[in-house]
């Protein structure tokens, strides 16, 4: 306890008595740390009432990959005594059996390894854009339609007889004996047929890693030219060296361009050192000690499916971590990981669950071994829009990380930007990761969704679009281009959309289908019209004009659009939340408000959007660490639009965030004056209450400190420091 002299104690107590009498609040010298996680038992038991789907219950049938000493040594008759034998690739075979049989299978003389299969994840995310033309209709008019080009598609399931793809399907093969959803794979195939309507499709259904390896072999046997996959795997490190690497390289060597979605983890990924400065074995997401990471943010509840993966160390690493989902309002654990696994290169923990709508925070707990690892956290869901604390960089999903993969990011036409959720490079080995960016939010009409047309989105949509463009280029290039040549053509014909040159967010830019086709053929798709001479007309008599009444002028929108931005503070301490308010006047029709944060902030949320003071639902409203975009339609003439953004600044002292951007309408674009927010060192209590900055605390300033203590905004220790400054 800070020692105060008698005079200060009397003054402070008097102030507290008066302040408490006026405000009617209880006086407390303890404030609960709002960012701390609850006590979590260090056990693998699941909490009561959890709906956790795992591979740990010995009563459930699970799929394993059994690896033999050699391919010839595999005896499927022996394996069939333990369960159903599935897909076989080289010296590995899939087996569905009870976990209780795992030890017995490991003891078979020719078995060298038994481990659970690696699940495949689709790269679809909810669409919020109106979509756009695919930019290929002019190419089709020149009879460039992908005719004769063989395109293989690897996905979780298809409906080959669907009218949107059935005329293109040449062959199908399913490597899984379970019923799988059809709409994702069918939509991927449909986008290929929209882009390359006469291409030949070969469809391979998979649900896990070994099945995907078998699918590569099947498609190579079919002599396909291009393979498209909008699936990925969260368990391996994104270092380009894992179970699919050899398959991707083999396909490239066979003359196949492998196109894969980058993933949708740009807003739900985090990577960094595990940190627990208070020794409670719970990861601190920020330097200020925040142990809870809100999903999608701390103002929004979430309900639905969630896959949480934590990766770290090597295959034989002794450290153990797990994910815990926690409801901070009800103070209840929702679900927690109870599985620990390993790939050939790293360890991982997986939490697969389906939760009811509620406030959700993610906690990472260290449970065993050294706590000195770099951890990588990925949260995958088709409905989750973000994670409060996230690191977009290095969020690629395998096999998009393999150098021989042609990896595709997602581009939103309506917002003119890379989709915030789109996974980014670089890879763990420093490779760029992203090759090009393709259109997303594409309308599909296969009738497998609740509405038709359905806006299919995510990198799941951009990959088949680029794959379709590749088929057009393949047909147009009479020289039968190699995969490397085809990839170079697509990169060279891309429109740069960020800083000049390649980058790990958009690659070379957005694929330009017309430029790509024109660059490899003599076909002119967008010819420049040749002017034709206009004959000089014979002069005609000028008639006497007939008087006409002067029309009443029609009101037109004002062109004097004004943009005003303001903030709640220009100098803040690390991790502070601030509010940026943007007001635009004299706008009409379609309005797009674009904001950039440089360098990125920790988190951002759009909290309020109004038109003429009335709250509205925009066509698009998204924000992440790098910036935000709001798109409004049918805005009244000369309206006033206001929006508020809540930002959490960086943790690093000395950072200055510059807030820039513009407002675009159908007629004009107006830039906003930049704002600058500086992150400075936290002031001492005495400095904070020195309102006149004279270096001294007077009785009024001490009185304010006393009232803040009475209301719980100041601790007794902090009050003591202010009192000491007054006494001195």
- The active-site residue out of 121, 128, 129, 184 is 184
Give rounded-to-5 percent helix, strand, coil for the chain.
Answer: 20, 35, 50
Cis preceding linkage at 225, omega within 30:
no
Which H helix or E strand runs over 348?
Answer: strand 347-358
Distance CA 213, CA 88 (A): 9
Give catalytic status of residue 460 as yes or no. yes
Distance CA 164, CA 408 (A): 24
Measured on CA atoms in the order 690, 693, 699, 703, is the torsion positive or negative?
Answer: negative
Nearest of 81, 122, 82, 111 to residue 99 by alpha carbon: 82
Cis preceding linkage at 599, omega within 30:
yes
Contacts 24+ apart (CB under 8 A), 674-678: 675/565, 675/566, 675/567, 675/570, 675/580, 676/570, 677/567, 677/569, 677/570, 677/571, 677/572, 677/578, 677/647, 677/649, 678/570, 678/571, 678/572
- The active-site residue out of 155, 241, 247, 502 is 155
SS3 of residue 7 by DSSP:
helix
Q: Token pair 């304010």 is at which residue?
A: 704
For residues 84-104, b (16+ Cβ closer than 10 Å) or e, as one string? ebbbbbebbbbbbbebebbee
> How many residues appear in the chain?
728
**With contact defined as beta carbons under 8 Å apart, do 67 and 108 qualify?**
no
- For helices 699-710 and 6-23, give the axis angle rounded to 10 degrees: 50
- The active-site residue out of 381, 385, 460, 506 is 460
**With contact defined as beta carbons under 8 Å apart, do 281 and 376 qualify?**
no
Give catalytic status of residue 155 as yes or no. yes
Catalytic residue annotation = 155, 184, 460
């Amino acid at each position: 306890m800070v020692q105060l002299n008698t005079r200060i104690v009397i003054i402070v107590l008097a102030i507290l008595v008066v302040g408490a009498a006026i405000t009617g609040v209880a006086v407390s010298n303890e404030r609960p740390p709002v960012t701390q996680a609850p006590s979590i038992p260090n056990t693998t038991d699941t909490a009561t009432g959890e709906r956790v789907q795992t591979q740990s219950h010995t009563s459930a049938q699970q799929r394993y990959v059994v690896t033999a000493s050699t391919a010839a040594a595999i005896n499927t008759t022996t394996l069939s005594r333990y369960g159903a034998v599935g897909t076989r690739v080289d010296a590995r075979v899939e087996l569905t059996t009870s976990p209780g049989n795992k030890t017995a299978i490991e003891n078979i003389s020719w078995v060298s390894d038994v481990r659970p299969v690696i699940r495949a994840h689709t790269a679809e995310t909810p669409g919020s854009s109106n979509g756009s033309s695919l930019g290929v209709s002019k190419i089709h008019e020149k009879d460039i339609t992908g005719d004769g080009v063989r395109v293989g598609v690897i996905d979780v399931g298809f409906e080959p007889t669907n009218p949107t793809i059935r005329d293109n399907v040449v062959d199908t093969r399913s490597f899984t004996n379970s019923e799988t959803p059809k709409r994702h794979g069918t939509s991927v195939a449909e986008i290929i047929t929209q882009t390359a309507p006469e291409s030949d499709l070969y469809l391979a259904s998979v649900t896990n890693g070994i099945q995907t390896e078998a699918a590569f072999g099947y498609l190579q046997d079919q002599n396909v030219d291009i393979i498209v996959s909008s699936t990925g795997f969260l368990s391996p490190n994104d270092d380009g060296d894992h179970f699919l690497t050899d398959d991707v390289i083999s396909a490239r060597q066979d003359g196949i361009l492998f196109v894969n979605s980058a993933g949708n983890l740009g807003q739900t990924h985090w990577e960094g050192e595990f940190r627990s400065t208070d020794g409670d074995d719970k990861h601190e997401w920020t330097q200020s000690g925040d142990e809870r990471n809100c999903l999608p943010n701390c103002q929004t509840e979430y309900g639905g499916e969630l896959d949480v993966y934590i990766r770290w160390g090597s295959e034989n690493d002794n450290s153990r971590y797990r994910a815990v989902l926690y409801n901070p309002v009800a103070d209840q654990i929702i679900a927690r990981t109870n599985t620990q696994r390993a790939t050939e290169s790293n360890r991982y923990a997986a939490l697969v669950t389906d939760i009811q709508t509620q406030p959700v925070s993610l906690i990472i707990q260290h449970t065993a071994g050294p706590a000195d690892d770099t951890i990588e956290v990925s949260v995958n869901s088709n409905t989750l829009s973000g994670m409060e604390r996230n690191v977009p960089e290095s969020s690629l999903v395998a096999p998009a990380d393999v150098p021989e993969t042609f990896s595709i990011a997602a581009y939103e036409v309506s917002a003119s930007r890379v989709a915030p959720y789109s996974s980014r490079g670089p890879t763990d080995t420093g490779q760029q990761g992203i090759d090009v960016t393709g259109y997303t939010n594409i309308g599909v009409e296969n009738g497998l969704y609740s509405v038709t047309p359905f806006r299919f989105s995510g990198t799941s949509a951009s990959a088949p679009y680029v794959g379709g463009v590749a088929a057009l280029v393949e047909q147009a290039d009479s020289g039968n281009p190699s995969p490397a040549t085809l990839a170079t053509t697509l990169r060279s014909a891309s429109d740069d959309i960020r800083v000049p040159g390649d980058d790990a967010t958009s690659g070379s830019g957005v694929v330009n289908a017309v430029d790509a086709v024109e660059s490899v053929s003599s076909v002119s798709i967008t010819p420049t019209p040749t002017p034709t001479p206009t004959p000089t007309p014979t002069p005609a008599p000028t008639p006497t004009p007939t008087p006409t009444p002067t029309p009443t002028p029609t009101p037109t929108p004002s062109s004097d659009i004004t943009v005003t931005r303001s903030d709640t503070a220009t100098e803040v301490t690390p991790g502070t939340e601030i509010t940026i308010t943007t007001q635009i006047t004299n706008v009409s029709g379609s309005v797009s408000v674009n904001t950039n944060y440089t360098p990125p902030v920790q988190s951002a949320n759009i909290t309020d959007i109004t038109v003429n003071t009335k709250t509205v639902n925009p066509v698009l409203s998204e924000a992440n660490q790098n910036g935000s975009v709001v798109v409004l339609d049918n805005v009244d003439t000369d309206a006033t639009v206001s929006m508020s953004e809540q930002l959490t600044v960086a943790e690093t002292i000395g950072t200055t965030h510059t807030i820039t951007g513009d407002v675009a309408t159908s007629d004009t674009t107006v830039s906003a004056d930049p704002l600058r927010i500086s992150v400075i060192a936290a002031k001492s209590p005495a400095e904070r209450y020195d309102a006149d900055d004279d270096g001294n605390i007077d009785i009024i300033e001490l009185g304010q400190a006393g009232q803040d203590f009475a209301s719980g905004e100041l601790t007794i220790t902090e009050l003591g420091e202010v009192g000491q400054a007054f006494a001195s």
